[in-house]
Chains A and B, each alone.
Chain A
Amino acid sequence: MRPLHLFVLCSALGLVACSPSDPRQSASASLANDMLLPAYQAWASASAQLPVSAQALCATPQPADNALPQARQDLQTAQRSWAALQPLQLGPLSEGNRAWQVQFWPDKKNLVRRQVENLIDQHPALSRAQLERASVVVQGLSAYEYLLFDSQLDLARPADRQRYCALLGHIAGHQQQLSAQILAELQGEQGFLKHLQQFPNTRFAEADEALAELLRAQVNGLDLLKKKLGTAIGKLSKGIPQPLQAEFWRSQASLDSLAAAVHSAEQLWQGQADQGIASLLDDTQQPLRQRIDQAYADIRQQLAALQQPLDKLLSNDAGRAQLDALYVSLDRLHRLQERDLAGALGIQLGFNAHDGD
């Protein structure tokens, strides 16, 4: 096995870092620098905007007219940048349940509303420390979305600002801090991104392991997208749509989130300057590459053709047919990557947390 030989050679020569002549090492390094880093930076910078607009909205005695629209827009930017990380959940984001602190899904029983209201009832003058001790349900974008978009709330009203502004500000602060912390752990000499570039290191013995980790994150991300769309269109409920079980349904951001996630999965596949996972298939495996390319192209086209938000599409036959077709395409892509691609690259994906029921 070539990577192993390289590893042995590097060790024998006592080199700290091999020159990235191994395709798996250069793919992993390129994806770390050209894909993961900018995606996580975008998320951190979108999260850093949240406290700014939250503060403006909660200004006393009276916020500016555009403060609420601005806060909503900043949330949607954060949602999109977060969605783009769905197929890139590895390293520091995958540890210590941090992803749950950003988004709580599925929320079958509207825990977001219940826990937000209970928290504020218990702590009318909520402190940041009290939020940090509360459950993940109230710490993230799902609760933030409830505050800004729920039909029962209106932060243009002074009474609602009075009740909810402390929580709004603390969630914004929590998201800013969390995203900055994760970005810091990715970067630096001991950062996760370095572990994707130079082998062996404390996390990966060789490039193959890093690559397996990247593929696993991507495949799990696609599986998650299937779950999210499938739940909303009724795959778990005898075909009866469940619009209130969709992610980010209050802000109608479900399909935008899906598109952002598929886009970054495709970037991981293609890479910059053909340095993605696709580049690792050899000449005999080009038909598989073409099938996966085509699967991404199909999904892109279908997403572009959706002219309405998810809940509207779910309310008519034509829309439901479009979403069903999209699900089939996502499923095909997931299968191609999970089975055919993993097999072609000789990577065992192992048990997936989705294997439960």
Chain B
Amino acid sequence: MLRTPLATASLLALAITLAGCGESPAPSTQAAPTANSASSAPFEQAAAQAVVKHYADLALAVFSDAHSTALALQQAIETLLAEPNEANLQAARNAWLAARTPYMQSEVFRFGNPVVDDWEGQLNAWPLDEGLIDYVAAGYDHAQGNPGATANIIANQTIQVGEDSLDVSTLTPQLLASLNELGGSEANVATGYHAIEFLLWGQDLNGSAAGAGNRPASDYAQGEACSGGHCERRAQYLRAATELLVSDLAEMVGQWQANQTGNYRASLEAEPAANGLRKMLFGMGSLSLGELAGERMKVALEAQSTEDEHDCFSDNTHNSHYYNAKGVQNVYLGQYQKADGSLLSGPSLASLVAKIDATADQQLQADLQATDKALQAMVDSAEQGQHFDQLIAADNSAGQQIVRNAIAALVKQTASIEQAAARLGISDLNPDTADHSF
């Protein structure tokens, strides 16, 4: 099998054409060529199976942490709603930030695993037209042709979308879930981390200047102190969205529990080990290149568009990017530092690759390390007061360079992921995705 270096620049240049959340890799009209029959694979089956099993352990640990930190967020939000003051709002925001740390490390499990990819839109769809949810400032810009862009669910008992009138008088998790992609617009995101982020922070009206969203705690005050109007509905909305987040995460934890007949993990472990390795590598490469380097950094950078920033309300984008990349490293090294500080480690992809080609392994490890460093620079910048939306400003060439360095590191690591895949004899990186529609 011929192996050529990835023309990374040209691929990344196309990243802007990514159309948005909820879309999945193309289906295949025929079975992917699987060159990894047990007899010809360059790795031991038992070793590879152990790696895939540990991959599932990692997923279980990451999603379990995402669930437990979401429960802590829910508790902090209940405290805020019971007693809406600035201290409780800050505590809820801190809980949201803490909940993002494990969740962002879970995204490497998307792409290759349909059970995650088909599920995640309800939790992390972005960017959103926040006027669907609540009040927005004058001059708010939204997706063209989005009939729900200014629906303001919180302020209305019924909303009009095109010719349809929808009853939204009772804000339940199920109702909110049904409003996602309302009227066909992917910018209509009614649920998930970013909807909750908007409800905790509000719009970031600072453009490329310093500062995040600045929603007052009084937006949740009941009675005369209520600011922004409809505080009771806003509280209901926040409570329902959080409840949905928690239950969605609980469901995903269940999919990765060991020894459960019929869950996703059972089917993953029953597949040939090479398929599991393919899913691992596909997730690593897709997150590195198309998603993180392309969609989440390059679009915002080149278009100088702060609305294409990932955590645009809270200005937590640096951490989200950092932990996305950390997730890629976790899968390769077979390790994960849990929310309680303990380290989970076990049979790794790295060890499989190293047995076949130590140089390819060292190269990928070095690249993962370089990416970690490049994204650490973005985190350091934010902690010193200059956040992602400031880095991409037109006149901030030093800031732009920080983003460019991170993109370049991710592009380089993608080429090494391909190299490692080739050494493992994984020729077709795209797992079978026949159940997807696009």
Contacts and interface: CB of A to CB of B under 8 A. Distances in A.
Interface string A212-230: 1100110010011011101
Interface in B280-305: 282, 285-292, 294-295, 298, 302-305
Contacts of B10: 89-90, 94-95, 216-217, 220
Nearest to A4: B2
A97 B13 contact: yes
A244 B149 CA distance: 15
Contact of A355 (B187, B285, B304, B395): B285
B394 A236 contact: no
A339 B19 contact: no
Interface string B14-33: 11111111111110111011
A312 interface: no
A5 interface: no
Count chain A CB atoms within 10 A of each CB in B11, B183, B282 and give the residue with the most: B11
A335 B303 contact: no
A23 interface: no
A106 interface: yes
B12 interface: yes
A348 B7 contact: no
B303 A339 contact: no
B16 A109 contact: no
Nearest to A327: B438
Contacts of A213: 4, 7
Interface residues of B, number: 74
Contacts of B294: 353, 356
B413 to A, nearest CB: 11
B110 to A, nearest CB: 8
A204 B346 CA distance: 39
Count chain B CB atoms within 10 A of each CB in A90, A107, A355 and give the residue with the most: A355
B418 interface: yes
Nearest to A98: B13
Contact of A357 (B5, B26, B187, B295): B295
How many A residues are at the interface, by size bracket? 35 or more
Main SS of chain B's interface residues? loop
Interface in A192-208: 208
Contacts, number: 211
Contact of B4 (A1, A209, A245): A209
B6 interface: yes
Given A136-B303, A245-B145, A239 B184 contact: yes
A104 B417 CA distance: 29
A357 B20 contact: yes
B338 interface: no
B35 to A, nearest CB: 10
A236 B18 CA distance: 11
A72 interface: no
A357 B11 contact: no
Contacts of A228: 17
A109 B286 contact: no
B145 A111 contact: no
B19 A106 contact: yes
A175 interface: no
Contacts of A98: 13
A242 interface: yes
A334 interface: yes
Interface string B116-159: 01000000000000000000000001111100000000000000
Interface of A: 1, 89-90, 94-100, 104-111, 114-115, 133-137, 208-209, 212-213, 216-217, 220, 223-224, 226-228, 230-231, 234-240, 242-245, 331-332, 334-335, 338-340, 343, 346-348, 350-357
Given A213-B4, A354-B18, 8 more contacts: A95-B10, A105-B16, A135-B302, A135-B394, A332-B29, A335-B29, A351-B289, A354-B17
29 contacts: A89-B13, A94-B13, A95-B13, A100-B13, A104-B303, A105-B16, A106-B20, A108-B143, A109-B142, A115-B304, A134-B304, A134-B394, A208-B2, A235-B437, A236-B22, A351-B286, A351-B289, A351-B418, A352-B289, A353-B15, A355-B25, A356-B286, A356-B291, A356-B292, A357-B22, A357-B23, A357-B117, A357-B290, A357-B295
